[in-house]
Amino acid sequence: MASATELHAAEIHDARAVVPESLLYPLRFEPIYQYRLWGGRRFADLLTAPLPSGPVGEAWLLSDRNDHASQVADGPLKGQTIGQMLKEYPEQMMGKLAHRFQRFPLLLKFLDVHEMLSVQVHPTKANKNLLPAGETPKTEAWVVLQAGAQSRIDAGLKIGTTAASLRLALKNKTVVDLLAGFTPKPGDAIFCRAGTVHALGDVVVFEIQQNSDVTFRLHDWDHVDPKTGKPRALDVDKAIACIDFAKGPVGAVAPVVETTAPVERERLFDCEHFLLWRLRGESPFTVGAVDVPRVLVCIGGAGEVEHNGASYAMQKGDVVLLPAVIGVCSFRPRTAVNLLEIALPD
């Protein structure tokens, strides 16, 4: 027969298991602005949170990182970080994926690339020796939101480029001749696997990536950081060690249309790290899934997520995490809406 202490402990455990399900709700997070010397001021048209002074290159929308931890914007859990909630309510937040992840495995951002982003590459699984402790490889993808008159995306190297020819081009400052570039337009979606050389210019994009902050720069267009008065450091040897020279040029993906009514649902990305759909429509439609988390990012229009008899407003620029316990719920547009829905592979 169980002792009184054991019964009390069991009651506490049961309470902790039950309370979060009624406590959790669609969680909207505050953006975290990041100074970048190549940034601009175009987030003022995308986000409602006031911009700090100077060039703002990144808005981190969902970040489970110790240095920049996303906080819930409103409701009973306002101020809680995503990391705190994953630690306290792992099964309720992550469902059947809880055993796989100690932290949320994706980092979601908006980028305002006013000046050219450095020519860079991110490490792959084969480059574990170059990864700082606690970091992972970094596969990422972009959805273009705005494209200026000078917009450009470089993704991949021209066929035939070798480590030797790349080093020579870097020395001669002719690396642009080896980059596979194109002029993007709003709506383009580009998948950039780890090991792919890339750069961006004069665009605003949504970025989805593995939860890593490791970048190796090959070339930085002679930028000088006004905060230091010096050029930023390059990582040529590490970068070249990470490059997949067999990859070749990378272009925009072809969206896969899955449904047309009541919402147009296009699958843009489907890899071992994330899935992403673009949803466009004016009539109510469902979002979320059973026993797994989903993330919604509104990139146009406005509406409400409806759950458990309550409505949770979303407008352009908002990011909302649907904890696994919420399951499938309804999204009701107020105007024509353009929404991204993100999933983790099972």
Q: 121: number of CA atoms within 13 Å, CB side? A: 25
pLDDT the model gives residue 22: 64
From 271, 298, 288, select the one nearest 95 (Cα to Cα).
Answer: 288
Rounded average pLDDT over 212-241 = 94
Q: Rounded to 5, what percent of the chain is helix, strand, coil?
A: 20, 40, 40
Question: Given a cut of 50, is residue 15 above it in pLDDT?
Answer: no
Q: Encode pLDDT of 114-145 as tens digits.
A: 999 999 999 999 999 999 988 999 999 999 99
Which pair of structure tokens corresponds to residue 312? 């949770």
User: Whole-angstrom Cα distance, residue 148 to residue 113?
Assistant: 10
Domains of the chain: 27-242 (2.60.120.10), 256-343 (2.60.120.10)
Strand partners, 33: 59
Dihedral of CA atoms 66, 72, 77, 82 in degrees, nearest 10, equals: -30
Angle among Cα 279, 284, 286 to the nearest 5 degrees reads 65
Q: Which pLDDT score, from 0 to 100, does residue 227 have?
A: 83
Q: Of 216, 200, 233, nearest to 123 (Cα)?
A: 216
Alpha-carbon distance values, 193 to 16, 47, 208, 244 (Å): 40, 28, 11, 10
Residue linked to tokens 């930023």: 232
Q: Which tokens in the block code for residue 101?
A: 């992840």
* Least reliable range by pLDDT among 6-20, 23-37, 79-93: 6-20
- As to burial, measured by CB atoms within 10 angstroms (0-12 exposed, 13-18 middle, 19+ buried), residue 290 is exposed
> Does residue 4 surpass a pLDDT of 90?
no
Mean pLDDT value across the chain: 93
Predicted confidence (pLDDT) per residue in 231-283, tens digit: 999 999 999 999 999 989 999 999 999 999 999 999 999 999 999 999 999 99
Q: Going along 238-293, which residue ranges are E strands?
A: 256-259, 264-270, 275-281, 285-287
List the alpha helices (DSSP H) in the chain.
4-23, 82-88, 90-94, 163-172, 236-242
User: Over the stretch 55-90, which tens digit does the pLDDT of each residue have?
Assistant: 999 999 999 999 999 999 999 999 999 999 999 999
pLDDT band (50, 70, 90) for residue 7: very low
The pLDDT of residue 5: 43
Q: Tell me, what DSSP letter sits at residue 52? A: P
* Angle at 23 (CA atoms; ends 69, 96), nearest 5 degrees: 70
Q: How far is CA 159 from the centre of its chain?
A: 29
Sequence-ordered list of residues with C-beta below 8 angstroms from that of 238, at least 6 positions apart, any chain = 123, 130, 216
pTM of the model as a whole: 0.92
Are the C-beta atoms of 78 and 30 separated by less than 8 Å? Answer: no
- The answer to whether residues 211 and 259 touch, using CB atoms and an 8 Å cutoff, is no
